[in-house]
Chain A
Amino acid sequence: MGHLAMMFAAVNTGLLLKQLFNATSAVSLLALVAIGLFIIFGMMKVINMAHGELFMLGAYTMWWLLARGINFWLNLLAAALVVGLFGVIVERLIVQRLYVRGDLSTLLATFGLSILLQRGVAIAFGDRPQFVTSPFTGGPTLLGNTYPTYQIIATVLAFAVIAAVVVLFLKTDFGLRARATIVNPAMAAALAVNTVRMNALSFALGSALAGFAGALAAPLVSVVPAMGLDWVIRAFLVVIVAGAGSIWAAAGGAAIVGGWEAGFTAIYDATYAQITVLAIVWALVLLRPRGLFSGTGRRWRR
């Protein structure tokens, strides 16, 4: 009897550890997607509805290049670069035109863009899932559970990139200007921050992060044209939870949304996990309409 109880406890600890690992892995990728979205939202107060499709484009870039025998790690960089450049084009052609209107037309236009990209890729490569094989198979085993090497590396890489972005924001000249713009755009403009260039740069950076995240996640998920939707919805919820106050807020929001979802999924069910996340967001909007980490009750117009 005692022996059985001990075994049961060991299994539980192992399971718990495994689930903790899965949650961490999910949070890291979500944070990567959300930070890209957040940078654009924080800087320009624009929600890029096509952010999920940038993630998808990153995954397809990885798949396409890999199928042509190009090195996996190079493809990660290539995806970031390609999608980042694409972001620049989107910013030039669409966002910049609508930005001055100050209304919700950027939201609508990028909403259209997201469908355009999604269906475009469906026409080009079909709706069937594409598989990206990870450069590693297997992984270390701990307490009866296997921890896939690639998932470990992807998680570490995601956190590393997030750390790099944070350093970029805290330590560089670009980061200083960016933070100033996020906190007070009018003031930043008055201090001769070139907002047009800053906007283009932040859009490129946000897009590149989405592309990188997509490529990084590609071996872990099935690559389909509609794959971005699931991620971007969660990233949207992260932004609502976190508010647009600081770069830390996005990470904190991702931890809350991603962590809760992973935990709830492990205990019960993925769909209900999303429903509960939505309920939390609903309550937060009521209690903290500017986001959990918004700090002062600064008022927003639009």
Chain B
Amino acid sequence: MAAVTARQGWARVGGLVWNARGAALLLIGLLIYGRLADPFGLFIVASALVLSLLALSVDLQWGYAGILNLGPAAYLGLGAYTYAITQRKITAGSPTYLAFALAILFGIVLAVIVAFPAFKARTLPVYYALITLAVALILQRWTAVSYDLTGGSNGLVGIPLPDFSLPGLDLKMTTAEQFFPLASGVVVAAYLACLWLTRSRFGRLLAAIRDDEEKVATLGYDVATTKLIVAAIAGALGALAGALYAPLAGTAHPSLFGIAFSVQTYVWVAVGGQGTLIGPILAAIALKLLENRLRGVSADGYLMLLAAVFMLVVIFLPKGIAGLFDAQAVRDRFRRSRGGPIALAPVLERPLDEPHG
């Protein structure tokens, strides 16, 4: 056993680096962009990055576990309002740690509450999709009428920027441009975390559940709990997106729960390619920049365009536009055409087992 560990260890490090190449390229790209772009461009890309966390949450659920949550915006809104209200009523003028922590906590709690009956009672997947959509819309409606807490349909304005100050260390954000590096860092970290998760044994379990839940149960796994964990992680990611989006935009309003944000997220995941993680992030940046060009022309037109693209992708490219260029798929096709057993794939292309241990 000991004899193999050194070689396997290095192979695993190599594998990690190879798998993380997307993150490295993304980070380099963002660093360069951060140097070149004007403040407004930085703002646009920062909001794309923040919202791409929501896309990551959808990709984890839909792309990896086959769970369809049609109301991801519920978590965006929840995170945004939690951040805004906490910072207003509890920790005004103080560092924003509590606001972020509460947002993530509430995201997890909401996700578990919503998903619990659907997964535990093994209801139709369609029902879960409908319930999640209903939850988002009813939260939107409730936010719009709860004036005392949420400011009603006017929303909340003047939401303070994040402040990560520690005793003796001033880390208070003062300008919106400073958001860009924060958003970049969070997204790259979230991407790496999701990558690790999906390449781990847990990720393999998710893929198996997506294929055949019943079979996985006969292998001794608790399918419902596994799906709940995924929903909870997604809830945390979505709420984090909201908690970052509120201070970036400076406002929180009921439409954050709205269907437009949910659809937009699905479009990013579908266009970027579900089950790729990096795809939805890139799609978020690209489409957000495009939106910025088109929104001036017609906001409705832009949304229509998104919806049309989404439909076309779902109908004609079930693996997303990125699926067209998927190198792995090409390799698979090649393998299949040769047939028979294949040689051991190069170790770098093998899925990562566990980065440590």
Contacts and interface: CB of A to CB of B under 8 A. Distances in A.
Chain A–chain B contact at Cβ < 8 A: yes
Interface of A: 41, 45, 47, 94, 97-98, 101, 104-105, 107-109, 111-116, 119-120, 122-123, 229, 233, 236-237, 239-240, 269, 271, 274-275, 278, 281-283, 285-287, 289-290, 300, 302
Contact of A108 (B120, B308, B314): B314
B123 A278 contact: no
A86 B68 CA distance: 27
Interface stretch (B27-35, B90-98, B124-132, B245-253): B124-132
Interface in B111-148: 113-114, 116-118, 120-127, 129-131, 133-135, 137-138, 141-142, 145
B305 to A, nearest CB: 9
A47 B130 CA distance: 9
Contact of A271 (B131, B141, B315): B141
B300 A108 contact: no
A117 to B, nearest CB: 9
A114 B266 CA distance: 14
B259 interface: yes
Nearest to A234: B134
B310 interface: yes
Given A122-B300, A302-B125, A236 B133 contact: yes
A281 B135 CA distance: 11
A115 B263 CA distance: 8
A290 B123 contact: yes
A92 to B, nearest CB: 12
Contacts of A300: 124
Nearest first, the 7 closest Cβ-Cβ pairs linking A and B are A286-B117, A289-B121, A112-B311, A115-B307, A289-B123, A116-B307, A112-B310
Given A120-B304, A233-B133, A240 B127 contact: yes
A165 B141 CA distance: 33
A44 to B, nearest CB: 11
Given A112-B310, A283-B117, A300-B124, 17 more contacts: A94-B311, A108-B266, A111-B70, A112-B308, A114-B307, A115-B263, A119-B300, A122-B300, A233-B137, A233-B138, A236-B130, A271-B141, A271-B145, A274-B141, A285-B118, A285-B127, A286-B116
Contacts of B113: 282
29 contacts: A41-B126, A47-B126, A47-B129, A105-B314, A105-B315, A107-B68, A107-B70, A107-B129, A108-B68, A111-B310, A112-B311, A112-B314, A115-B306, A115-B310, A119-B301, A120-B304, A123-B300, A123-B301, A233-B134, A236-B130, A240-B131, A271-B145, A278-B131, A278-B135, A285-B131, A286-B120, A287-B121, A289-B117, A290-B123
Instruction: Give chain A's interface secondary structure class.
Output: helix
B298 interface: yes
A119 B314 contact: no
B259 A123 contact: no
Contacts of B318: 101, 105
Contacts of A45: 126
Interface of B: 68, 70, 113-114, 116-118, 120-127, 129-131, 133-135, 137-138, 141-142, 145, 259-260, 263, 266, 270, 298, 300-301, 303-304, 306-308, 310-311, 314-315, 318
Given A104-B126, A233-B137, A123 B121 contact: no
B231 to A, nearest CB: 14
B162 to A, nearest CB: 31
A109 B130 contact: no
Instruction: Give chain B's interface secondary structure class.
Output: helix
A38 B271 CA distance: 31
A111 B142 contact: no
A41 B126 CA distance: 10
Contacts of A236: 130, 133-134
A254 to B, nearest CB: 15
Nearest to B260: A115
Nearest to B126: A47
Contacts of A41: 126
Nearest to A127: B300
A14 B315 CA distance: 54
A108 B134 contact: no
Nearest to B139: A275
A119 B124 contact: no
A108 B145 contact: no
Most buried by A among B114, B123, B145, B266: B123
A260 to B, nearest CB: 14
A302 B125 CA distance: 7
A41 B306 CA distance: 26
Contact of B315 (A47, A109, A119, A278): A109
Contact of B303 (A119, A239, A287): A119
Contact of B138 (A97, A108, A274): A274
B199 to A, nearest CB: 24
A104 B125 contact: yes
A104 B68 contact: yes
Nearest to B117: A286
